[in-house]
Amino acid sequence: MKTRSRSISIVVQSSIALMLLLATSSFNQGSSKLQEFKMTIKNTDDGLEINGLKGSAWTKLRFTINNYRLQAVDEYGMTEIDKSTGYDPKLADFLFTIAKTEDGIILKGLKGTGWKELTFTLAKGELQQVDQMGMTK
């Protein structure tokens, strides 16, 4: 009877270890699909300025955006949500929308981001750095 209990115990432990291994590897595969990008967002008097620091074809985007109007941005610059702009392996593959509110900024990650939504306050002239994983310093 002890041998049978040990056998069952080993099978249960092996099954748990296998499930953990599979869960960890699928989590890592999902994370590895995110390509690095980095940008700073600045709140200006007439809208926003976004500086691409890594992973984008653009270095600076400036646009007037007020009253919760959405602007889509991808690795090539300002775009439309349902418009495909191609693929370049030298660039990160991302798409998000940005909106300016009375209190701050709302970013919604649509593709290539580890975040679904980022909301933060940003006073005029202040900068906030954002990458594929979220807000950074």
Cα–Cα distance, 41 to 39 (Å, whole number):
7
pLDDT tens for 72-114 read: 999 999 999 888 777 888 999 999 999 998 888 999 999 999 9
Q: Tell me if the pTM is above 0.95.
A: no
For the chain, the domains span 1-32, 38-136
pLDDT score for 29: 35
